[in-house]
Structure 1
Amino acid sequence: MSDILDGVTTFVRVVETGSFALAADRMNLTRSAVGKVIVRLEKRLGVRLLNRTTRSQSLTEDGQAYYDRCVRAIAELEAAQADLDSVRREPKGRLRVSVPQAFGHHCVAPVLLGLARKHPQLKIDISITDRFVDVVEEGFDLVVRIGPLVDSVSLAARRLGVQYASIGAAPAYLARCGTPRRVDEFHGHTIIAYSRHGVLEPWNVLDVDGQMRRAEVEPQLGFDDMQGIVDAAIAGFGLAWLPSWLLARYVATGQLVSVMENCFRPSQEIHVVWPKSRYLALKTRCAIDALVAEIPAMVGAPSAN
């Protein structure tokens, strides 16, 4: 007797990705293997599910009806697993997470490390990158994002806090070049800025009088990596743009000094996001709860300016 579910997950993944090649990549199979699974499924059902050409594919009428029922069946199976998770109360399995580089190293990774220690059956795979990842297409369970949520239709999200940015510098640099107190005093200072895709972020600064001003600076150094900015600042190169939570860590060690705190606008919201689903696996829910509980204290609240 054949397994009624044999090939169903592969069929659904092919439809969702719109491509045999993408489905194969997501499932760690060859394109040929995926094609054979679909052929066997069609033979067993006695109908053609997909119209295939060398360039495209589309569902047949029978395929659409079968796909709709398969999606509902998989949802019910996921619900059954979620119910078992709830009874078991022990998260297990593989959890794939993507996080920004500096924030991932300093904030998210320590939280997930604690979670892994608490739950030995939970296997956590952390990708640390500033690249904008596609949560669904790349198969991530959770992603931490800093900035606007541009794909919120397909994702659920919880807010972790707000990232403010400050200006910092090494004590040796300030002793040599002086400490600016207002935006107009930045003139003549060496600037280390953050860049994304080769474009330097503008210095829109909340001045001491409470007014927003665009600092007319020409950064000599630009990094798309926070640690690079930190290293250059500690080396005494100049004034640096840094997330306030990161600067505070080096102020505490005496390696950097805060020149102007929480002064950049706009600030950036921090969220943990995951694919929308009727049922949330226990492993994912536990990770979300841990991040929500611990991250806000790490990024802190802005001080009064």
Structure 2
Amino acid sequence: MNDRLAGIDTFVYAVDAGSFALAAERLGLTRSAVGKAIARLEQRLGTRLFHRTTRQQNLTEDGQAYYEHCVRALAELEAAEAAFDSGRREPGGRLRVSAPLLFGRHCVAPVLTALGRLHTKLHVDISFSDRVVDLVEEGFDLAVRIGPLRDSATLAARRLGTQAMGICAAPSYLASHGTPQAAADFATHTAIVYGLNAQSAQWRIRDADGTVQELSIGTRLRFDDVQVIADAAVAGHGLAWLPCWLMAPRLRSGELALVTSSQHTVSSEVHAVWPQSRYLPSKTRAAIDALVAHVPAMLGP
């Protein structure tokens, strides 16, 4: 008997991705395999689902109608599976997680690696990127975010802690340029800043009365990798705004010296976020619980 569900998930992935090639990448298949699955589905249905050209693919009228039915059907199946899964004791299956590059390597990966070792049926897949991913569109179960939650209307979230920040520099840099004491002093210094998509993060400090000020400081170096910023600071290229968990060992070794402590900087909230759903799979719940249990201690004072 023919499997009436064969090819449906591939078809939906192809529509959502906008191309067979991207759908193949997300499914872990070849583009040819995706194309053949769609062709078999069209043959079984007796209609064309896509208008295909050399540059793009668009749904036919039948394809659009079929897609809408498929999405509803798959949503019902996923809800049913999640209902069963939420009652299981042993998390299993593929867990796809997105995490910021350096924070993910140092704080997220160790926790989820240990979780995977504890639950042998769980397959952990972590993508490291400072880009804010679309969890639903890109097929992630969970993401770790640092800073404001801009898409919180469509996501559920759980706080993991606060990432305290500090300003530091190499002792050699401070010996040559002096140590800024007040907000106005920073104007004569050079900053090594974090930047993504041609935008640089603002440095904000608190005065003695608690007033928040944005620092005015010259910038000659901008990187989208916090590790590179730390290395540049150690090399004496300027002041750096770094998370305390990354800065602390370099302060202890003497490679960096503290300029502004976390008591006078504006910290960032860290959250685990996931698509809002009536049912939370046990694999996702286990990952969230593990992160809540272990990440706060990694953030440090």
TM-score, scaled relative to structure 1: 0.81
One-letter identity of the residue aligned with 2:114: G
Match of 1:52 in 2: 51
One-letter identity of the residue aligned with 2:291: L
One-letter identity of the residue aligned with 1:60: E
CA distance 1:73–1:203, change in 2 (3 Å): closer
Pairing 1:65-80 to 2, within 5 Å after superposition: 66-80=66-80
CA distance 1:105–1:5, change in 2 (3 Å): same
Match of 2:191 in 1: 191
- Report deviation, 1:57: 2.4
How many matched pairs?
A: 298
Unaligned runs of 5+ in 2: none
CA distance 1:200–1:78, change in 2 (3 Å): closer
Unaligned runs of 5+ in 1: none
Give the root-mean-square deviation of aligned CA atoms: 3.1
CA distance 1:28–1:62, change in 2 (3 Å): closer
- 1:267-290 Cα offsets, whole Å, 9 max, x none, are 433222233444332212211221
Contact 1:12 1:67 in 2 (8 A): yes
CA distance 1:277–1:52, change in 2 (3 Å): farther
Match of 1:28 in 2: 28
- Which whole-Å CA distance do the structure 2 matches of 1:116 and 1:23 have between them? 26
Q: Identity, % of aligned pairs?
A: 56
TM-score, scaled relative to structure 2: 0.82
Alignment partner of 1:219: what SS? strand
CA distance 1:259–1:24, change in 2 (3 Å): same
Match of 2:6 in 1: 6
Contact 2:229 2:240 in 1 (8 A): yes
Q: Are 2:144 and 1:156 aligned?
A: no
- 1:177-206 Cα offsets, whole Å, 9 max, x none, are 443221223354443322333444343332
One-letter identity of the residue aligned with 2:59: S
Alignment partner of 2:138: what SS? coil
Deviates more, 1:98-107 or 1:184-193: 184-193
- Which whole-Å CA distance do the structure 1 matches of 2:200 and 2:4 have between them? 56
Alignment partner of 1:131: what SS? coil
CA distance 1:39–1:247, change in 2 (3 Å): same
Pairing 1:244-283 to 2, within 5 Å after superposition: 244-262=244-262, 263-265=264-266, 267-283=267-283
Contact 1:186 1:217 in 2 (8 A): yes
Pairing 1:6-155 to 2, within 5 Å after superposition: 6-46=6-46, 48=47, 50=49, 52-54=51-53, 55-58=56-59, 60=61, 64=65, 66-155=66-155
Deviates more, 1:116-125 or 1:30-39: 30-39
